[in-house]
Structure 1
Amino acid sequence: MSFNKTLGSYPGILIIISLTVALFLIGFCGWIAISSKELIKYVKQNVEIQVYLERDLDALELAKIKSDLINLKIAEHTSSRPGVVLISKETAADIFFKDTKENFKEVLGDNPFRDAYTIKLKEENISESRLKEMKTQIEKVPGVFEVDYAKDFLNGIISNVNKVYKILAAIVLIFFIATLLLINNTIKLALYSQRFIIRTMQLVGATDYFIQKPFLAKGFFQGTVAALIAILLVFFTKTVAISQIEGLSIIQNTQNTIWLFLILLILGPMIGVMSTYQSIVRYHKLDLDKLY
């Protein structure tokens, strides 16, 4: 009696655990990719070009330079902040003193800083080639002494995040393939214990659909449960990371995270059903001798 009960058992918990781990790893890598993309976007939205001006310019000349910079149509204008802002040499000196606590006037006897415009760039203008082109354009404006921007920092960020994208894409693909192989093997072993029940149902005239239906329903249920648990784990990991890492909340995209959770919710049942179907069809076609 106990032998028959063991023979008819179906290790659903093992399938759910295996699928949950795989979906969690996929979801976690997806969240890292989303955060990396938002980091690049955040950096780009705060990239500024510093336009240093010739000395001793009057108010009319400063206004003319600002008008010329605006006409280049490279600045991002928002309701909270204009795209082109003048930083006077006095303001620059005050900022320097607050940051370094060094009184350069005692050494130099004069203010070495220049009046400068900072230009907050449109996101589509932020690329290495476009920045070089804009630098050349701005330096041709009368009254401009020099143009500068954080070239090495910007190029390093974009280059490194692009590498992160490629690595994460490769990892997600590997996890997805490993998930299919792992779940296929797990379900195949689980259905092995059901092979005699399947054959008995065939012998009494049950159709393939009638035999497959309860197994496919179980595969759908297991995939859904695994997806929900994986989503909760990713959400918990995300919440802990945000609470522990300062500034991480700034680069979170709620909409993209919801899309990620929806993908996991679809992916779990889909893998469960497909793997179950692929495994159960195999036993439909086995000869009686091979069942033993």
Structure 2
Amino acid sequence: MARQKKNVGQYPSGMILFSLTLALFLIGFCGLLAIQSKRLVTYIRENYEMRAFLDKDLNSTELKKLSETLADQPYVLKTDGVAQLGFVPKEDAAKEFIADTKEDFSKFLGENPLRDSYRIKLNEAYFEEAKLTEVKQDLEQIDGIFEVVYPENLVDSINRNVTKIYIVMSAFALVLLLIIVVLMNNTIRLALHSQRLLIRSMQLVGATNAFITRPFLGRGMWQGFLAGVIAVVLLLVGLYIAIQNLPELAAFQEPEKIAMLMGGVVALGVVIGFLSTFQAVNRYLGLTLDELY
């Protein structure tokens, strides 16, 4: 039987493709989690409300002027140009209180002691304890506002937990990337082992290192590209299934950032394929004849 001819740059690549695809999938998954987490945090912060209780017996003109004043404040969240303010009459506040506590205070007080109020949503940039304190003080200086309250402990808790989550995810992604690079270097190096004598033969007939390296690099970049595309397809399929089973996730999707992430996964695959192959080939180019055996 005729012996199969070896071509430069041809080596077993199934394990390399599988390993790189899995690695890129994990990195892309971490990226998707980061995007979803960031969007979720933004959603929580933008739905966080300050409660501004008003002076009693404000007439309709004073209420309108107060509403316009609040809408003009830079820290008030605006969606499509509309300030996110919610006016709560004291009658509605009483109904909410009774529904929550199951106690009707009007029966023994004889009147409604609660005040009209505004529920104010803030821009995410102001979701810090120091800035919230400044906003509170600024609101209380506006004519017609009696007092401003907000759950201070909740703000501290959310900010601390968000910081911890980002630190853990960043550290995990960095460690994962380092492990992937090391594994890919070893995997490609083992795959190129069968080509080491062919590389030496080409050197002996005068082939330059650039000429020898070129087909290996082309194959490595192609494998990285293919692995990146497969990883992206798997990520999109996984995201689609997740949204189908949990429709609420659809509200947290950011197509532009997801598209950038997917492009980054493919680009990372090409870069890893190039660098790992380049390092592995250069190792064999520098070996002596004794070391080849």
TM over 0.5: yes
Q: Residue 91 of structure 1 corresponds to which residue in structure 2? A: 92
- Kindly provide the CA deviation profile for residues 74-128 of structure 1, in whole angstroms up to 9, marking residues without a partner as x: 3234447434442111232344566677655446543343200122223332221
Quote the RMSD (CA, aligned, Å): 2.7
CA distance, structure 1, for counterparts of residue 171 and residue 35 of structure 2: 15
What is the SS of the residue equivalent to 1:147? strand
Is 1:24 the counterpart of 2:25? The answer is yes
5 Å matches for 1:45-194? 45-70=46-71, 72-79=73-80, 81-96=82-97, 105-106=106-107, 108-194=109-195
Find the aligned partners of 1:158 and 1:250 in 2 and give their Cα distance.
22
Distance verdict in 2 for CA 1:35–1:119, change over 3 Å: same
Which residue of the partner structure matches residue 199 of structure 2? 198
For 1:129, give the aligned amino acid: A
Identity of aligned residues (%): 42
| TM-score (normalised: structure 2) | 0.88
CA distance in 1, matches of 2:20, 2:292: 27
2:199 counterpart letter in structure 1 = I
Q: Using a 3 Å threshold, how does the CA distance of structure 1 residues 45 and 212 change in structure 2: closer, same or farther?
A: same
Task: Check 1:111–1:3 CA distance in 2 against 1; reply closer, same or farther (3 A cut).
Answer: farther
2:292: which partner in 1?
291
Query: Residue 11 of structure 2 contacts residue 192 of structure 2 at CA under 8 Å; is this kept in 1?
Result: yes
Q: In terms of mean alpha carbon deviation, does 164-173 or 84-93 score higher?
A: 84-93
Q: CA deviation at 1:185?
A: 0.4
What is residue 221 of structure 2 aligned with on the other side?
220
1:231 corresponds to: 232
So what's the TM-score if we normalise by structure 1? Answer: 0.88
What residue ranges of structure 1 are gaps of 5+ in the alignment?
Answer: none
- Following superposition, the deviation at residue 24 of structure 1 comes to 0.9
CA distance in 2, matches of 1:158, 1:251: 19
Deviation at residue 3 of structure 1 after TM alignment? 8.7
Pairwise CA distance, 1:283:
1.1
Task: Tell me, yes or no, if the aligned pair for 1:242 and 1:249 is still in contact at 8 Å.
Answer: yes
- For the residue of structure 1 that corresponds to 2:51, the secondary structure is strand
Contact 1:44 1:126 in 2 (8 A): yes
Alignment check: 8 A CA contact 1:231 1:264 kept? yes
Gapped regions of structure 2 (runs ≥ 5): none
Structure 1, residues 42-101: CA drift from partner, whole Å, max 9, x if none? Answer: 222222211012333333443454455446543234447434442111232344566677
Distance 2:168 2:59 in 1: 53
1-side partners of 2:80 and 2:36: how far apart?
A: 26
State the aligned residue count: 291
Give the match's secondary structure for 2:146. Answer: strand
Contact 2:94 2:114 in 1 (8 A): yes
